[in-house]
Amino acid sequence: MHRFLLHNDEVRDSSDLIVSPGQIGFANGWGVFSTLRVYDGVLFAFERHWERMSRDAARMSVPFPESPGWLEDRLHRLVEANQAWNSTLRVMVVRNRGGKWLRLWEGPAASAREFELIALTAPVNEWGRGVRLGLVPQARHAASELTGTKILSWSQNLYWYERAHQQGFDETVLLNERGEVAECTSANIFAVEGDRVWTPPLTAGCLPGVTRAILLEEVGAPGLTIGEKTLMPADLEAANEVFITSTTRELLPVVSVAGLKIRDASATRDRLQAAFSGYTQKYAAPRRRPVAAL
């Protein structure tokens, strides 16, 4: 990560001690987060990230900023401090108090504010030409009332992600309780069938990724139809191509899935990646700030 971080209203050195063990959200992962890409100093698709975070915060009873402008202004301060004009940005809103039922472990620092805002920037990661995926059954519970909520309690995903690397993979496909494909630990997944491109519906237990939503709603390529459909592992094997999407990866081809025979192809993905890149440039052009001159 870069030198400076954002803590509430201040840009601080990342070595500063700013967290207390008695802050309920930090001790229990009670908060929401999102990861944004910064293109030429512009917070890409900020409106979509704000909408998802605010919705998830309401579902999880996490106090949240009232104004998107308040948050956006502070994130821009961080980008400028780190000169992170083209970077990855992680923003977290963490519940600070336990409430009347959860005061046993609440420390003095928790009384200061309802929530803590923390944001970090880091260089854009190089992901390579494609990903090799493992496969984990029973990893998503699609019927849960909190399905699709992006929360700070992320250790289960990190465990699967780390184990995938230990086993020689780059990521892993997570199946739900019905054996359907849901998502990866930090990416959505798409399968190409001829001129149709499918991704699992949210009812499969996947997160509503921002890149996923943009492909479904705003970006396409002539002759291609993009939609939602229940996918089984066999559908990945039968597909002409498989690729994953995320804010940090954009669109990345899948070259293998454990136990399945996957076609190593990316022609459709390449077309959609080109369209997505054009969309990011169109989005950023009118929003560039003078300070982000490159």
pLDDT confidence of residue 25:
84
pLDDT confidence of residue 293:
45
pLDDT confidence of residue 100:
67
CATH class for the domain made up of 131-281: alpha beta
Mean pLDDT of all residues belonging to the chain: 93
What whole-number percentage of the chain has pLDDT above 70? 94
Q: Where are the domains of the chain?
A: 4-122, 131-281
Residues 229-244 have pLDDT tens digits of 999 999 999 999 999 9
pLDDT confidence of residue 111:
60
pLDDT confidence of residue 69:
97
**pLDDT of 107 over the 90 cut:** no
Nearest alpha carbon to residue 293 among 94, 129, 131, 86: 86
Average pLDDT value for residue range 101-120:
76
pLDDT confidence of residue 63:
95
| pLDDT band (50, 70, 90) for residue 101 | low
What whole-number percentage of the chain has pLDDT above 90? 85
Please tell me the pTM assigned to this model: 0.94
CATH of domain 4-122: 3.30.470.10
**pLDDT of 23 over the 50 cut:** yes
